[in-house]
Chain A
Amino acid sequence: MADLRRTCLYDLHEELGAKLVPFAGYEMPVQYPMGVLKEHLHTRAQAGLFDVSHMGQVILRPKGDMAALEAAFEALMPVAVTGLAEGRQRYGLFTNARGGILDDLMFANRGDHLFVVVNAACKETDIAHMTAHLGPVAKVEPVTDRALLALQGPEAEAVLAALVPQVAEMRFMDVIAVDTVFGALWISRSGYSGEDGFEISLPEASAPDFARNLLAHPAVAPIGLGARDSLRLEAGLCLYGHDIDENTTPVAAGLSWAIQKARRRGGAREGGFPGAERILQELAEGAPALRVGFHPETRAPMREGTVIWDAPEGGRNVGGITSGGYGPSVEAPIAMGYVPQDCAEPGTRLWGELRGKRLPVTVSELPFRPSTYKR
């Protein structure tokens, strides 16, 4: 694994007995000795600590005023940036001219700049994309000396508040910056597990100490990418490159909620983003295929790539699974994928082809498990 990068918590992962695997160019913990299943359940019951330092952190610093940066950033996404209050974060999507998704991201208004977190696998292209389009109005500054940790689960607030009391006052998608003995912490109340929790950006130099402090709490266990994946799958959240990509539109992906009224037809700042024609049309008329959940009716998990049919034999190949596996909290196999509109109604029975056999699945609503964000 010579060419792989390591996060500043690599030594800690090894010390904790992590199994390390290549992921998005980094050597990352896929699981710790507890194992994926128990790590998943521990996060839902108490609190899990995730190293997500491989993700891209970027500051967009306006050359002039923030309004010009916000307007330029809006031109890359069907999402409202203007109007996002200081101290608030929002989910965003870079789109292409065909309305496909280049990446999904989080961005926060931190008063005199925007702070953006993008997927690890896309960060170089995202930075190039932002630099190319925002150059006239903003400096695009990749943050390369800070770690990113996620603390997720019902005990996350109590654990983090012991070190940073201010977090108890935060609501879902609030962001704050706090000076501590660990340096400046940039904290958002968010995550990707469906649980209440926080993401904490902090200086690499103090990140191992900070992580050890959190792990010293009996409610906190280190959690690898394996459980991160099953947690987000149960929460119905998309994984870029699997459930969404350059060929899926936000409407097809069930992400229309991320497109505020102001950017839709008749809105104050209608359109004006890549792929607007297609996305606005799909918002009004629906997309030909939609992302749905599947409950396999047998106990056999159905994974990415499983072909979906509309009949137990013969019939049409109507779609496929883009993410799937076993849901430890729902105690059953779960999956999601795309099917045409006429197959997308929850309760519709379809068939997934597994090892040459077609096994029944039921189309279901997403998420599989209600989220517990602190609104």
Chain B
Amino acid sequence: MKYTEDHEWLRVESTPEGDIVVVGITEHAATQLGDVVFVELPEVETVVATGDEVVVIESVKAASDILAPVDGEIIEVNAKLSDKPGLVNDDPTGAAWFFKMKIDDLSVLDDFMDEDEYNDMIG
């Protein structure tokens, strides 16, 4: 698992069509956000660039964006989150993944933090 400075986790999954990246937010981020009550997901097949706002998360406190961590195409979204946004608090690193992306070059993931580096960052 890789981690971004925006508290996203990225997990590579191998599929028959090639490698894809699954994106979610960390336990730390979910705790900071508070109880999530709404998740707005992107359309499948959207082509996104690094830094694009792709997901809106509303907690009881405020709205937050999730940014595309890398360039690529959204190939699947976790529709379960539309009905059960609270999954983001219950299982942020498992059942509450947000979207899957197809990216051209997996080596871009090397730039992100590993778990130890991320834990150091959040102190």
Contact = CB atoms under 8 A, between A and B. Distances in A.
B56 interface: yes
Given A31-B34, A326-B37, A37 B58 contact: no
B121 interface: no
Q: How large is the interface on B (under 10, 10 to 19, 20 to 34, 35 or more residues)?
A: 10 to 19
Contacts, number: 42
Contacts of B38: 299-301, 326, 333
A68 to B, nearest CB: 47
Interface in A14-63: 30-31, 35-38, 40
B42 to A, nearest CB: 13
Contacts of B61: 30, 36, 226
A36 B60 contact: yes
A37 B82 contact: no
Contact of B58 (A30, A36, A301, A328): A301
A228 B38 CA distance: 20
Contacts of A299: 37-38, 82, 85
Interface in B84-122: 85
B35 interface: yes
A239 to B, nearest CB: 15
Q: How large is the interface on A (under 10, 10 to 19, 20 to 34, 35 or more residues)?
A: 10 to 19
A271 interface: no
B63 interface: yes
A303 interface: yes
Interface string B45-65: 000000000001010111100
Contacts of B63: 301, 303
A333 B35 CA distance: 13
B58 A326 contact: yes
A244 B85 CA distance: 32
A323 to B, nearest CB: 13
Contacts of A303: 62-63
Interface in B1-60: 34-35, 37-38, 40, 56, 58, 60
Contacts of B56: 300, 355
Nearest to B62: A303
Nearest to A357: B40
B60 A37 contact: yes
A226 B34 CA distance: 10
B35 A37 contact: yes
14 contacts: A31-B34, A35-B34, A37-B60, A38-B35, A226-B61, A299-B37, A300-B56, A301-B37, A301-B63, A303-B62, A303-B63, A326-B37, A326-B38, A326-B60
